[in-house]
Structure 1
């Protein structure tokens, strides 16, 4: 075994084998893969091997698409047949809502380049007569995917890795990871079999490595404890059954090709052929989490007892859909652990707080994702960033606030929700409320309907209080849901009067010290503001793309208050703190503090916002405190609103006159009551995140995680005014060398009368795909749908006509000038 390595990959399942393969293929030498048992001994061995391309996530769609294409090349590369049966994937729909889900997904698939076909119930019946179709609405069919043998594909990738110089050592259990300041020491014991169990021998090993990747599957919690971190990967029991041969199927196959993988999503199961019979795998409610505190040493390639009562309904639905299966007996059953995360996406990327430690954990679709994960993670490690934005899979999307109980219960929910309808306005209820601002109860009493962002409860919109007007707030839609009119009214309130938004979840950091200014000059791409002023700026990745968006408030010469997206607190903090540590010797002492939970934030906006605040502000001349002369746009002032001290920032994400009111969290309810009472004469309206999202698109304000991410530079986001090319900053050279591959634009859309885009749709010109939306919604200013997204640079011109794919139709769209609403910012600068 090597004692020194460029990279050590821990875990010999499909994911670990793919990572080792792709690192070696990318040119890295001295790679070592360690597996505590045998290759594929974890969840890989009992996986059903399905390769579903269907995914509502842009990043996950790319990962799955790469895997499907890559697996088809393995036999030529390695000489081993990976056991890929390209039979296609048939997703059936019993309801109109499910077909709407497929229509939204289809547009996302087009933006990635994934092939699909629409089938009617009669077309399904004519091609596969064993399937009952009288209660179906239709289906979406992927002809290029199917299923694969998990053990074969893993062994093929392992052989490809060995061919490229990777050393693979089996029965080597890692017991510790130690960082010396310059490298990792990976130490452990060799395992031996005794009485059917694996036990640690006296033979130990120690490897010094520049990089470590953990792909430990069901052992993820043990790995986290060894690393001293938290992460949200805990397994859930998944069971599937294998039937005896079905005579009708056997007869069918005498003269017909194999059935595709069949998914009756509304019945929550998948089915595929297996040796003349069927494999049926349900995603039922009530599947329990397991190994919450680690996998027992005695657990190897083992299974749990089958719980047929738990899947009785799904089994009956399987018989309903394929009636010939009713008389067929059960041949085998599997109930094994499959790792999950609360949102269903794996944890892929740098580990929080650790250098050169990479995670690849929490794969509920490990076989489907393995190939693409290896490819894109290798890009991150070798080149500094992947070609797609991997933020939605970053391990740091969950902060230190998560607990074992939270993770286990959310992962059970994630499993049970695998095949339910995934509305774009979906809100899951498990473990809520958990993180709440002090004003939560007050807002709830006023009709707030909450969403959850990074564990925080955040109002999406405010529903009616009059019982006669109530509607089912749990009723979701792929079109304009029942909440839509309430969001319209809230958006109009800000455009015409005054609205109040709870923005407490914003991430907030304070940076100070002798080295703070020099560090931030290097860390961000815009000029730093003068004392008392603010700037919008970006921190870049090493490849020049956008890593984080910050509003920087300069409180003193060497003291700064940084505000960033609330969904990404730990993600932003980790990057910031790691680079501070790296550069402190060069720039001088830098103090950094996460103050997110110390300050609440209210955003008040609208043409009457100054009038409301003027009645609260305490000053010798209160009528002038908020005037343009004393308090111009893009400045900060410490003011007093009655008894509450407030850091007021004159900025508004809605594009209207407004302020962010950053206040001591313990005074939030006092301030809320003062604002509501004082604002009543002006009709102050509480406003949720959905209306705010629409309003910011009317101003072409980019959002991190939508328009801003690790796959586009600030110049591609068309934000040159926030990039100071006269100074040196992190990622500048890479940004300039990248050029403009695509450009961010705002579009007004003449879409369906009952639907708006969600930001996942493909854009077309004369039948050619030329871009995609990253945000979407409704514009109250223009009375039509609105969207933001990326198009070919030559098309990024005001007046350019395009088409957008919505509800399986192509609808007219026109690129507008940046900030189509109030492009001169007259309203946001208005005096009073």
Structure 2
């Protein structure tokens, strides 16, 4: 019999559901109940390839993948169930120079993350994988500690481990309803055969895999994912075939795994086939989808050439099974934004086996402690926008996301599907002027502007891309004259009410009790003084403030505010779409505004860090004198209905002044030169605000605020690391992020962000360096190098910005 109450009900008995149950019980949780509609593994887990790699795109995702390996290696001793985990190694080969650069850059990143990796030549690839035809192979990388395992047995071992510590794991038990009161789930209804019942619960975890979207709707939360068909074949036994490393040939969309003397060939084709648009059958259990040999045939033809022994081996199994994919190819983990006790772990994009151990560990620690154990921004479900649950959107985007796993991961690569959904009021005006759009959180944003005769489209590369000179010219205009760009996508959240000031003082590190019209740069801190949000706050009136956030984190930042509102009398409202924002920046920005407005933009009337209401053309607006590019300038906030007029007025007035329209790539290059932090890269929830160099934005002499005690403790104890800025001495190499940083020849960290400083004439970056017990002078006295694709490039290191270190230009 199932219990009447549980501390947590986990929905879904695939590898991730069992991992969450295992890790919660390992933390001592009692009353853990897992409900599986059919049998454990019967959705997607049972047909997973079981590839278990170490290296992921960021340090913390790599950390979780490594944890999975260590966990699976020890489960058999704990539970008696063999997981089949073996460290067989893996090889990834490149067939183009561009892919070679991607692999070699990833090798540098791996070393920065502590992952053992080796760059190898085509001959060395052949030596390690002698069955491979190396025609066209340009290079490879070898990870000796990558592995493979048995997905079904890994899941059963996790389930057994959970049961051994008291969890209830109930198969053939379907969740039929999730009951709610306000922002909390109160109970779960279940059915098993003819039996029915209800479990009251403190929390629910949605681990329902490709049913995750549907289960999310039952719980009142948005879980954007869509199932796609995933194909692989298994050969007949091949005589003499012994254990081989896992092989990936991403340029041919293929991976190969030896298993019991057979070869598995799997595909991540560029144009995938979404599945389950009309829902998933009630009877779905260990099911396969219809064969589509025509769809798979191009992959097979390339594979027979690449692996000649496949030409003589018969096909034992042609398999087609569904797997779920998210809009950005990162899985969903964490507390759902819409509810206060509904957690999600779903949408693992064909990497569920290698991710499940670490994801289950991280989520269980988050649930147990109430805060993320470390930065999980890559996968935190609060990154998803409400519209991304739209079924048509998911259908269109999923066609692309499966193939992107093996596509070239070029810098600045933009999604091609499901575009044009969120448009700023200036969208058409910018397109008419040659804007090349990128997409972030669904927003179409001008990233750069094509010149007359230049194709307004990306031509991707790891070298200087086709927009490199365009961005340089845009930055030159901002640094030397006048530029204008669209910032409408940045989040705008109004906080209003009699307690608005007190509430913001509670969640912000800076002093919020300022004069009306003042703009304050600040952070939301957690209890450890890690940075949960990086925002500006403008006091609009005695009882109203405007919080401006990065576009990608608007929802997460608003949820943070709402969850800490408590008994404060205030209302929090997203007004992002209500106002367009044009940034006018550069030494001649004041002159431009004076041409189109009768208002006073002098330092006496509108100094840096203040806002004022103005007339502009025949419209009304509000200008904020702040800058993310390090120049004199204003952000102009205009109600959406007047945006077209204001753009036309400014653009026309700027023609005889050399006004240049600019994009987001320029803004990023400018902020890098100024050493301005980027949330999600340079500052995250696990980066202490003092170690991030943002102590100036924290006022500990005001009443208690979240993180204050941790700030004081760090001031007393001293910094363990510092965020340092770097500039390469060679102008040729390019930096993106995650490149290793070497101090006196030893790897001591990696770049949190990187880009090209066009005004400085060299690539620049930022990264944290350990510095316990050292002075700044001692830290900077060393020799620093950045590893760029295996080449160590000397870098200048300093704490102050490389451009305008005194900050005089914004106050001109």
- Fold conserved between structures, TM > 0.5: yes
The answer for the alignment partner of 1:756 in structure 2 is 734
Q: CA deviation at 1:288?
A: 1.8
**In structure 1, distance between residues paired with 2:372 and 2:562:** 22
The answer for the alignment partner of 1:537 in structure 2 is 522
SS in 1 for 2:488: coil
1:486 aligns with 2:470: yes
Answer with 181-190 or 558-567: which moved more. 181-190
SS in 2 for 1:393: coil
Match of 2:240 among 251, 261, 271: 251
Q: Is the 8 A contact 1:183 1:209 kept in 2?
A: no
Match of 2:724 among 738, 741, 745: 745
1:386 aligns with 2:372: yes
SS in 1 for 2:339: coil
The answer for the alignment partner of 1:130 in structure 2 is 131
The structure-2 alpha-carbon separation of the partners of 1:434 and 1:815, relative to structure 1 and needing over 3 Å to count, comes to: same
The answer for the alignment partner of 1:169 in structure 2 is 170
**In structure 2, distance between residues paired with 1:656 and 1:285:** 43
Write the deviation string for residues 407-446 of structure 1: whole angstroms up to 9, x where unpaired: 1211221012221101011012101222111221221122
Q: Is the 8 A contact 2:497 2:543 kept in 1?
A: yes
The answer for the alignment partner of 2:387 in structure 1 is 401
1:527 aligns with 2:514: no
Q: TM-score, normalised by structure 2?
A: 0.96
Q: CA deviation at 1:782?
A: 2.3
Answer with 516-525 or 796-805: which moved more. 796-805
The answer for the alignment partner of 2:788 in structure 1 is 806
Query: C-alpha root-mean-square deviation of aligned residues, in Å?
Result: 1.8
1:657 aligns with 2:658: no
The answer for the alignment partner of 1:232 in structure 2 is 224
In the TM superposition, what are the counterparts of 1:103-182 in structure 2 within 5 Å?
103-180=104-181
Write the deviation string for residues 469-523 of structure 1: whole angstroms up to 9, x where unpaired: x258332111221211111111111110010011010100111111211111101
Aligned length: 800
**In structure 2, distance between residues paired with 1:252 and 1:79:** 29
The structure-2 alpha-carbon separation of the partners of 1:336 and 1:139, relative to structure 1 and needing over 3 Å to count, comes to: same
1:436 aligns with 2:418: no
1:630 aligns with 2:611: no
The structure-2 alpha-carbon separation of the partners of 1:186 and 1:322, relative to structure 1 and needing over 3 Å to count, comes to: same
Q: CA deviation at 1:567?
A: 1.3
In the TM superposition, what are the counterparts of 1:17-32 in structure 2 within 5 Å?
17-32=18-33
**In structure 2, distance between residues paired with 1:430 and 1:117:** 35
Match of 2:586 among 583, 586, 606: 606
The answer for the alignment partner of 1:71 in structure 2 is 72
**In structure 1, distance between residues paired with 2:362 and 2:756:** 34
Q: CA deviation at 1:141?
A: 1.0
The structure-2 alpha-carbon separation of the partners of 1:387 and 1:221, relative to structure 1 and needing over 3 Å to count, comes to: closer
**In structure 2, distance between residues paired with 1:380 and 1:814:** 39
SS in 2 for 1:401: helix
Match of 1:279 among 232, 247, 264: 264
The answer for the alignment partner of 2:211 in structure 1 is 219
Q: CA deviation at 1:735?
A: 5.0
**In structure 1, distance between residues paired with 2:480 and 2:183:** 58
Q: Which 5+ residue runs of structure 2 have no aligned equivalent?
A: none
In the TM superposition, what are the counterparts of 1:633-644 in structure 2 within 5 Å?
633-644=608-619
The answer for the alignment partner of 1:518 in structure 2 is 502
Answer with 558-567 or 736-745: which moved more. 736-745
Q: CA deviation at 1:751?
A: 4.6
**In structure 1, distance between residues paired with 2:182 and 2:224:** 27
In the TM superposition, what are the counterparts of 1:179-328 in structure 2 within 5 Å?
179-180=180-181, 184-192=185-193, 201=194, 203-246=195-238, 250-253=239-242, 258-292=243-277, 294-328=279-313
**In structure 1, distance between residues paired with 2:88 and 2:324:** 26
Q: Which 5+ residue runs of structure 1 have no aligned equivalent?
A: 193-200, 620-624
The answer for the alignment partner of 1:196 in structure 2 is none
**In structure 1, distance between residues paired with 2:367 and 2:691:** 23
**In structure 1, distance between residues paired with 2:529 and 2:180:** 28
The answer for the alignment partner of 2:98 in structure 1 is 97
Q: CA deviation at 1:663?
A: 0.6
The answer for the alignment partner of 2:457 in structure 1 is 473
SS in 2 for 1:39: coil
Q: CA deviation at 1:226?
A: 0.3
**In structure 1, distance between residues paired with 2:88 and 2:30:** 37
Q: Is the 8 A contact 1:172 1:191 kept in 2?
A: yes
Q: Is the 8 A contact 1:495 1:606 kept in 2?
A: yes
Q: TM-score, normalised by structure 1?
A: 0.93
**In structure 1, distance between residues paired with 2:143 and 2:429:** 48
Q: CA deviation at 1:690?
A: 1.1
The structure-2 alpha-carbon separation of the partners of 1:646 and 1:293, relative to structure 1 and needing over 3 Å to count, comes to: farther
1:646 aligns with 2:650: no
The answer for the alignment partner of 1:195 in structure 2 is none
**In structure 1, distance between residues paired with 2:798 and 2:370:** 35
The structure-2 alpha-carbon separation of the partners of 1:799 and 1:384, relative to structure 1 and needing over 3 Å to count, comes to: farther
SS in 2 for 1:206: strand
Q: CA deviation at 1:267?
A: 0.3
**In structure 1, distance between residues paired with 2:220 and 2:158:** 31
Write the deviation string for residues 165-207 of structure 1: whole angstroms up to 9, x where unpaired: 2221212211222234696333223333xxxxxxxx2x22222
The structure-2 alpha-carbon separation of the partners of 1:182 and 1:478, relative to structure 1 and needing over 3 Å to count, comes to: closer
**In structure 1, distance between residues paired with 2:712 and 2:204:** 31
Write the deviation string for residues 649-693 of structure 1: whole angstroms up to 9, x where unpaired: 001110000000011112111111111111112201111111111
Q: CA deviation at 1:728?
A: 0.8
Q: Is the 8 A contact 1:618 1:642 kept in 2?
A: no
Q: CA deviation at 1:358?
A: 0.6
Write the deviation string for residues 119-165 of structure 1: whole angstroms up to 9, x where unpaired: 11111222322111131011111111121100111111112212222
Q: Is the 8 A contact 1:182 1:210 kept in 2?
A: no
Q: CA deviation at 1:799?
A: 5.1
Answer with 708-717 or 550-559: which moved more. 708-717
